[in-house]
Chains A and B, each alone.
Chain A
Amino acid sequence: MPLKAFVGHVRFLARQGLGLLWVPQVISLVRGEYTCPNLLGLPDLVRQYVSPSVRLLTPVLDARRGKRQLDRGYLSWGLQFAALPRVLRAWQKACVVQRSWEEEQGRGHPAGSALTILLLGPGYLVDDAYLNGNLQRKLQELGVAVVRADLPDAVTVPACRYLTKRPYWTTTRRALGALEHFRRTVDGVISIAPFGCGAEAMQGVLVNQRLRGANLPYLELYVDEHSSPVGLHTRLEAFCDLLERKKSG
């Protein structure tokens, strides 16, 4: 479903009559891991839906062999437009911005709410109020503090050591690492995924297995283009009721 939304965005932009479109091919962001297979073919998929006059800008981001390879992907893409010194300057500026953003993310741990919930899910779903049926807003209305699974890799990689085999999808590994990290501090776990998401189906099994002994309620949500926010909200309310009852004993 997020692919459909993406193609929708692309077609909207293409109708505005633009000639250049930035669609990166994100193969891998962390050494030895992959992003979703659908992202691997994204530029080629998008190509089918836009007219040939639109040029696609496609940097290949591939960190399977390490971070240096990833950086080289950015730089060699930049070299198409400018000379090396300028590319390097732009690259450094981008790194600084990214780092400060990451630090900001780590800080805000909400407190003071009755309930805290760990929200697992891919960013394109968790942050998109339309696609997720206004999930975050609804949780806020229910008086629940949401902990996001955005943790630096330095935390999530060691946290996944308990698994016999480290998952090779970055999102899954991050989610499981976050689960490990927050397991003792939250009251419940909610995961949201697009219908048909392959990694999520496996992640669900791993999360369930981990939570079985921990006495921590877990709600799995799947959304697609047919899901209605009303049904979603009912489930959220019921889940929060359950958490409250559990907490008050």
Chain B
Amino acid sequence: MRVTFPHLGNAYIAVESLLRGLGHEPVTPPPTNRRTLERGSFHSPAELCLPFKIALGNMLDGLDQGADCVLMIGGWGPCRLGYYAEIQRLLLEAVGRDVEFITLEVPRGIYSRYWNHFRRLTSGARLGHVLRGARLAWAKLNAVEALENLALQTRPRETQHAMTTQFLKRQLDLVRRAASLKEVEDVLHSARQGFLQLRESGSGQGWPLRLGVVGEIYTVVEPLANLNLEERLGNLGVEVVRTISLAGWVTDHIFKKALGCDITAPLRRLAAGYLRGFVGGHGLETIARSAALAKERVDGIVHILPLSCMPEVVAKGILPAVSRDHQIPVLSLVVDEHTAECGFQTRLEAFVDFVQRRVGQRVGQKQACLPWS
């Protein structure tokens, strides 16, 4: 089968390997861009959230490239993500794109459907092949994440503007092309050296500001949805501390949930006093991680959510209390398809300025540079 799937940050690198292992041909949609979003929003109801629209755009792009099947994740609420696939199938059907959807979720209800999906996915694949593909995919997912984290640390310390982003792009491409675990390991190893070389040398640099990013997973990891938030902050001389990792999400929500573990217990402990339990999506995570970040050496928190995201609205209402109790500045950014870059940048700059003034001038702080300077 020629299988397409929506983007989630750089996860496509791992998904491609997984699908090849299963004996399918991955049809990776072109990198998410403005046009993807416009296409997706055109076919979706206005009230749906940004991730839904981008994902739909990705699917349309993928189908244009000749895919005959869509791979999507599902779930059982209360976040809307769990029902995405159903609605997207109906919307595609309405525009005459009657395609097969394979939804990955914990089976419930009619089991024969899941069995059929499973058979479709695994038919014609040898077990050894599948396992090798899965291992490679997992290694790639971890490698991608390690690279992205290195970039986050390097960007505020880089000597030349935008070098880190370029370097990261090259390394991600190498990971994507890697065909074995050994190759992935090699790329990671050389990339570590490469990132070190991009940094400013000398020890008198002091520390850049550190801002934690929390929020809804899609808007945190997808650069188009958050208008390159991480890159923007990095260019303003801020080290971004990510609290959401894709590999962690896969472990928690697929493996641990399938085994019946309670993944919310540690989060509930962290969020104690603010939120008593699960509210769907990443609402609890947002509160828990914010409280945890506030106790670490982090100077501020940026909270990002798509407009009308149900769980994050709750989190947004409670975050001011976290901010008050822990004396930590919090900026909540709501994004949708109408978010303008200028206003976004202005708010980030103002927040960074504010945090910088608050923690006092640090030695050797990289100047928050204007785009034209």
Tell me the A residues contacting B by CB distance below 8 Å. 3, 25, 27, 32-38, 40-41, 43-45, 47-48, 163-169, 195-202, 204-206, 209, 222
A169 to B308: give the CA distance in the assembly, Å: 16
Q: Is A40 in contact with B86, judged by CB distance below 8 angstroms?
A: no
Q: Is A40 in contact with B91, judged by CB distance below 8 angstroms?
A: no
Closest Cβ of chain B to A50, distance in Å, is 12
State how many residues of chain B have any CB contact under 8 Å with chain A. 43
A164 to B109: give the CA distance in the assembly, Å: 9
Task: Specify which chain B residues have a CB less than 8 angstroms from the CB of A43 in the assembled complex.
Answer: 276
Q: Is A41 in contact with B77, judged by CB distance below 8 angstroms?
A: no
Q: Is B77 in contact with A34, judged by CB distance below 8 angstroms?
A: yes
Binary interface profile of B, 65-94, with partner A (CB < 8 Å = 1, else 0)?
000000000101111101100110011001
The interface residues of chain A, by DSSP majority, are classed as mixed
Q: Is A48 in contact with B321, judged by CB distance below 8 angstroms?
A: yes
Q: Is A34 in contact with B280, judged by CB distance below 8 angstroms?
A: yes
Interface residues of B in 263-302 (CB under 8 A from A): 274-281, 283
Interface residues of B in 30-80 (CB under 8 A from A): 45-49, 74, 76-80
Q: Given A44-B318, A202-B48, A165 and B80 touching (CB < 8 A)?
A: no
A156 to B285: give the CA distance in the assembly, Å: 34
Q: Which of A3, A44, A167 contacts B275 (CB 8 A)?
A: A44
Q: Which of B77, B90, B313 contacts A38 (CB 8 A)?
A: B313
Q: B311 an interface residue at 8 Å Cβ cutoff?
A: yes
Task: Specify which chain B residues have a CB less than 8 angstroms from the CB of A195 in the assembled complex.
Answer: 47
A198 to B314: give the CA distance in the assembly, Å: 13
Q: Which 10 A-B pairs have the closest CB atoms?
A: A41-B314, A201-B47, A34-B78, A168-B77, A196-B308, A37-B310, A37-B280, A198-B310, A40-B279, A41-B279
A33 to B46: give the CA distance in the assembly, Å: 25
Q: B320 an interface residue at 8 Å Cβ cutoff?
A: yes
Task: Specify which chain B residues have a CB less than 8 angstroms from the CB of A206 in the assembled complex.
Answer: 87, 90
Q: B307 an interface residue at 8 Å Cβ cutoff?
A: yes
Task: Specify which chain B residues have a CB less than 8 angstroms from the CB of A164 in the assembled complex.
Answer: 86, 110, 113
Given pairs A38-B310, A44-B318, A197-B47, 4 additional interface contacts (CB within 8 A): A27-B277, A169-B78, A195-B47, A201-B46
Q: B13 an interface residue at 8 Å Cβ cutoff?
A: no
A44 to B90: give the CA distance in the assembly, Å: 36
A33 to B76: give the CA distance in the assembly, Å: 8
Q: Is B83 in contact with A45, judged by CB distance below 8 angstroms?
A: no
Binary interface profile of B, 98-128, with partner A (CB < 8 Å = 1, else 0)?
0000000000111001000000000000000
